[in-house]
């Protein structure tokens, strides 16, 4: 017996319904608006009878048949996990964690999450170049498990065990896996004599002014060139520490000087003896710094060259015999007792290391000491679990995927894999086919993979843990390394889309390739051996119990596989952005306005209804309040960028797409190549028999799916594909 009973509240009918399934032992809350087949009801009944099930089953509007349980179902379990999916959530920081912004101040990350606008943070490339980047903050998890990471500079960082820290070599490591003396990518800052903020570039050791980091990061637009004049950056509010893009302006050096002279004329204080004395002192102090010395040396060189050009005869007379006169004095001084003593003193002069206080002989010796002993970084002292649990927060930092903490280290941001570009659709005119072919050349699809591992794969730190994975996958390492940065087949895709405001988006969908599937299959087979015959309503629902060796092994492996899936998406998006920028942005990088990267088919530790549970989202994504997500349609239909509404009955979840209404086998029999061409008209994509099973007609109506879950999500952007790459 099966029927739907609409749930009621004092305000009227809720958007979901409660299914009455004969023999079910737990409630099933459904956002599906159509009847379910007998086989689908059987799956729901089986899941409802699991002894480890918590509360109820939630069924998303894209739900359809799967293996063991329906795709589109959200299952919470108590002290157990069902190894039918692979994944892990992303870590974050406690609300009091300080984040330095380019305005010269540091703010608690929890306070930043209350803002409704973007701000600018320090980020770092994998080669150690510190840049400025736009970011936004969100609360990402409630009542989360916490660890304390202590650094050698005395700073303590409280975060979730799975949050990733940037190592000195540009790779990332989860907090719980950090070891004492691990070297982290640092953020060193100081102020010069003029009050300007200086930042040490980790790839070179050189100090750079923060306002020029902002300028060279593209946040002020293209850097202008002025004929026979120097380009400078003016601080509009005269606060040299405030390097927000809104406070900075490119000017020519002469225009900048003229502006300040005009202010002097309107301000008697600036004409006073007191101000003049301070001005001369500031110029003198500036000349003592390496940057000031270089500036005056450059200016002096230009003046001398100009003088030489305009007064050649006078210059020749002025310098006649200089070398001869100086030569004899220099030789005599070097041979004298005073000269020898001075040379010896310079050679043995000690320089103090600002990091550890050790005194090192010579400037070159200090440089080598910093490089080899400290590597320009902070080191980990310890990682300790903390008894208390707290709400945690994180930043979204488009393009760079990391940000600096006030503690002086860089950490990973929460991930997503759709990018909103600053470009209008007109740039794509006449270029769609070329763009698709360039994407296919740089990102292998289907059964193809890279001939050799890409650089990002070779440098990925998680390969060091591969030997600890299930013995059944140990022969897959070389192949897995070559597959990192590849798309695969099925419903995986790379797309270029246009939103309703005519803006271009880049989007991709992929997973952990073959290695993730192999890991899952091995553990599913293990789980089946742990249950007696007829103990489970379906062998595919075999589960691991928390605290057992099998549970620990599975949890370790699924976290590794989810990390592989995320790294795979990051590598592909980087390659996609490179191709896009090469074709449409003269090879320059742009700062994305929005970026999204959401998991589906994964398990996460979460708190629901006041209890700690494991939530399995099979063909569903996290729709926690304020969290960004992607809900793609099919290769000829719309897709949506959303923010979650945090619905408790759905365990803070929503659909991961339109959902199939027809199996792949049935679709191949039902549709023709001509159908595919007609249904994908206007989209640059494959239109051959090999992708007929992905035809839009085999999927549910995405508009209807979105309507059925309007209580679960808020639509941020509506997208339409113009390029679709499939395997």
3-state SS record for 207-236: EEEHHHHHHHCCCCCCCCCECCECEEEEEC
Of 296 and 680, the one with more pLDDT: 680
Place of tokens 């050698």: 152
What pLDDT score does 517 carry?
81
C-alpha Rg value of the chain to the nearest Å: 31
Q: Helix, strand, coil: what percent of the chain each, to 5?
A: 35, 30, 35
Q: Residue 67 is encoded by which pair of tokens?
A: 């293996």
Q: How confident is the model at residue 271 (pLDDT cuts 50, 70, 90)?
A: low
Q: What residues contact residue 724 under an 8 Å CB cut-off, 6+ apart? A: 493, 494, 495, 635, 636, 680, 683, 684, 685, 686
Q: How confident is the model at residue 29 (pLDDT cuts 50, 70, 90)?
A: very high
CA gap 139, 142 in Å, rounded: 8
Given the residues 599, 600, 656, 670, the one annotated as active site:
656
Give φ, ψ of 77 to 5 degrees: -130, 155
Q: ∠15-18-22 over CA atoms, to 5°?
A: 155
Of 322 and 8, the one with more pLDDT: 322
Is 367 one of the annotated active-site residues of the chain?
A: no
CA gap 688, 676 in Å, rounded: 8
Q: Is 321 left (phi over 0), alpha (psi -120 to 50) or beta?
A: left
Q: How confident is the model at residue 417 (pLDDT cuts 50, 70, 90)?
A: confident
Q: Is the predicted pLDDT of residue 379 greater than 80, yes or no? A: yes
Indicate the burial class of 235 (C-beta count within 10 angstroms; 0-12, 13-18, 19 or more).
middle
pLDDT, mean of residues 156-173: 86
Express each pLDDT in 609-664 by its tens digit.
Answer: 999 999 999 889 989 887 888 999 888 889 999 999 999 999 999 999 998 888 88
**Mean pLDDT lowest for which of 26-35, 360-369, 380-389, 531-540?**
360-369
Is the distance from CB of 184 to CB of 409 less than 8 angstroms?
yes
Pairing of strands 27-30, 53-64: parallel
Q: How confident is the model at residue 2 (pLDDT cuts 50, 70, 90)?
A: very low
Give the CATH class of 97-189+377-412: mainly beta
Place of tokens 């770092």: 124
CA gap 229, 238 in Å, rounded: 22
Closest CA to 601 of 58, 89, 90: 89
Q: ∠80-85-88 over CA atoms, to 5°?
A: 75
What pLDDT score does 186 carry?
93
What pLDDT score does 84 carry?
58
Q: What residues contact residue 486 under an 8 Å CB cut-off, 6+ apart? A: 443, 444, 445, 448, 449, 450, 510, 513, 568, 572
Cite the beta strand spans of 290-353 per DSSP E. Answer: 350-352
Pairing of strands 119-124, 183-184: unpaired
Of 69 and 328, the one with more pLDDT: 69
Q: How confident is the model at residue 416 (pLDDT cuts 50, 70, 90)?
A: very low
pLDDT, mean of residues 688-708: 93
Write out the DSSP string of 600-614. -SEEEEEEETTEEEE
What pLDDT score does 1 carry?
41
pLDDT, mean of residues 418-446: 93
CA gap 250, 252 in Å, rounded: 7
Express each pLDDT in 711-720 by its tens digit.
Answer: 999 999 999 9
Express each pLDDT in 61-77 by its tens digit.
Answer: 999 888 778 889 999 99
β-partners of residue 630 are 641
Q: Determine the length of the chain.
A: 727
Express each pLDDT in 294-317 by its tens digit.
Answer: 777 777 877 787 777 777 777 777
pLDDT, mean of residues 508-528: 86
CA gap 616, 604 in Å, rounded: 7
What pLDDT score does 725 carry?
93
CA gap 181, 415 in Å, rounded: 27
What does the H/E/C string look like for 152-195?
CCCCEEEECCCCEEEECCCCEEEHHHCCCCCEECECCEEECCCC
Q: How confident is the model at residue 376 (pLDDT cuts 50, 70, 90)?
A: low
CA gap 702, 551 in Å, rounded: 37
Is the distance from CB of 77 to CB of 49 less than 8 angstroms?
no
Is the distance from CB of 489 to CB of 445 less than 8 angstroms?
yes
β-partners of residue 147 are 159, 385
Write out the DSSP string of 13-33. EEEEEEEEETT-SSEEEE---
CA gap 119, 412 in Å, rounded: 17
CA gap 205, 198 in Å, rounded: 12
β-partners of residue 131 are 123
CA gap 50, 537 in Å, rounded: 8
**Mean pLDDT lowest for which of 13-27, 317-331, 518-532, 685-699?**
317-331
**Mean pLDDT lowest for which of 33-37, 211-215, 304-308?**
304-308
pLDDT, mean of residues 127-135: 90
CA gap 427, 447 in Å, rounded: 32
Helix (H, G, I), strand (E, B) or coil at 396: strand
Write down the domain spans for the chain.
97-189+377-412, 334-375
Is the distance from CB of 699 to CB of 637 less than 8 angstroms?
yes
């Amino acid at each position: 017996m099966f029927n739907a009973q609409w749930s009621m509240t004092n305000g009227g009918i809720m958007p979901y319904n409660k299914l009455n399934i004969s023999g079910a032992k737990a409630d099933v809350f459904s956002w599906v608006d159509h009847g379910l087949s007998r086989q689908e009801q059987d799956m729901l009944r089986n899941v409802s009878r699991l002894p480890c099930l918590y509360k109820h089953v939630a069924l998303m509007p894209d739900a359809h048949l799967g293996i063991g349980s329906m795709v589109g179902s959200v299952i919470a379990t108590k002290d157990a996990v069902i190894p039918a999916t692979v994944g892990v959530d992303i870590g974050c920081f406690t609300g009091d964690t300080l984040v330095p912004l380019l305005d010269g101040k540091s703010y608690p990350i929890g306070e930043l999450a209350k803002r409704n606008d973007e701000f600018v943070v320090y980020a770092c490339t994998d080669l150690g170049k510190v840049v400025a980047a736009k970011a936004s903050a969100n609360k990402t998890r409630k009542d989360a498990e916490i660890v304390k990471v202590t650094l050698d500079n005395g700073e303590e960082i409280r975060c979730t065990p799975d949050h990733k820290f940037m190592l000195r070599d540009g790779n990332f490591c989860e907090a719980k896996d950090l070891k004492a003396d691990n070297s982290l990518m640092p953020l060193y800052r100081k102020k010069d004599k003029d009050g300007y903020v200086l930042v040490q570039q980790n790839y070179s050791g050189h100090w750079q002014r923060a306002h020029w980091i902002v300028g060279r990061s593209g946040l002020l637009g293209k850097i202008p060139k002025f004929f026979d004049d120097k380009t400078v950056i003016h601080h509009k509010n005269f606060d040299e520490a405030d390097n927000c893009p809104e406070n900075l302006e490119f000017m020519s050096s002469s225009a900048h000087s003229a502006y300040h002279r005009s202010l002097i004329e309107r301000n008697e204080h600036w004409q006073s003896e007191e101000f003049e004395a301070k001005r001369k002192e500031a110029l003198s102090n500036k000349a003592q710094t390496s940057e000031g010395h270089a500036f005056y040396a450059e200016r002096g060189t230009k003046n001398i060259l100009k003088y030489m050009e305009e007064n050649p005869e006078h210059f020749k007379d002025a310098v006649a015999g200089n070398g001869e006169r100086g030569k004899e004095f220099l030789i005599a001084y070097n041979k004298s007792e005073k000269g020898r003593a001075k040379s010896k003193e310079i050679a043995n002069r000690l320089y103090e290391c600002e990091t550890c206080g050790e005194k090192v002989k010579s400037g070159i010796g200090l440089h080598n000491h910093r490089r080899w002993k400290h590597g320009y970084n902070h080191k980990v002292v310890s990682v300790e679990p903390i008894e208390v649990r707290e709400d945690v927060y994180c930043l979204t930092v488009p393009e760079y995927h990391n940000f600096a903490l006030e503690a002086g280290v860089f950490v990973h941001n929460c991930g997503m894999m759709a990018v909103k570009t600053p470009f209008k659709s007109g740039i794509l005119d006449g270029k769609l086919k070329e763009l698709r072919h360039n994407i296919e050349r740089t990102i292998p699809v289907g059964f193809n993979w890279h001939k050799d591992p890409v650089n990002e794969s070779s440098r990925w730190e998680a390969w060091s843990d591969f030997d600890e994975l299930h013995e059944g996958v140990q022969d897959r390492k070389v192949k897995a390394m070559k597959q990192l940065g590849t798309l695969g087949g099925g419903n995986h895709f790379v797309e270029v889309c246009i939103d309703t405001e005519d803006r271009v988006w880049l989007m991709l969908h992929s997973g952990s390739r073959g290695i993730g599937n192999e890991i899952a299959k091995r553990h599913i087979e293990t789980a089946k051996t742990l249950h007696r015959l007829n103990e489970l309503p379906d062998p595919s629902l075999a589960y691991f119990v928390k605290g057992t060796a099998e549970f620990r092994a599975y949890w370790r492996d699924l976290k590794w596989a989810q990390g592989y899936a995320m790294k795979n998406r990051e590598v592909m998006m980087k390659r996609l952005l490179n191709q896009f920028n090469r074709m449409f942005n003269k090879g320059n990088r742009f700062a994305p306005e929005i970026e999204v990267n959401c998991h589906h088919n994964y398990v996460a530790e979460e708190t629901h209804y006041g209890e700690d549970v494991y939530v399995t989202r099979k063909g569903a994504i996290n729709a926690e309040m304020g969290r960004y997500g992607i809900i793609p349609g099919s290769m000829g239909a719309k897709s949506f960028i959303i923010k979650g509404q945090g619905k408790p009955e759905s365990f803070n979840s929503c659909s991961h797409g339109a959902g199939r209404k027809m199996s792949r086998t049935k679709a191949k029999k039902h549709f023709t190549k001509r159908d595919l061409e007609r249904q994908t008209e206007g989209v640059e994509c494959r239109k051959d028999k090999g992708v007929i099973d992905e035809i839009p007609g085999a999927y549910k109506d995405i508009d209807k799916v979105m309507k059925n879950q309007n209580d679960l999500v808020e639509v941020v952007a509506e997208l339409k594909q113009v390029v679709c790459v499939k395997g």
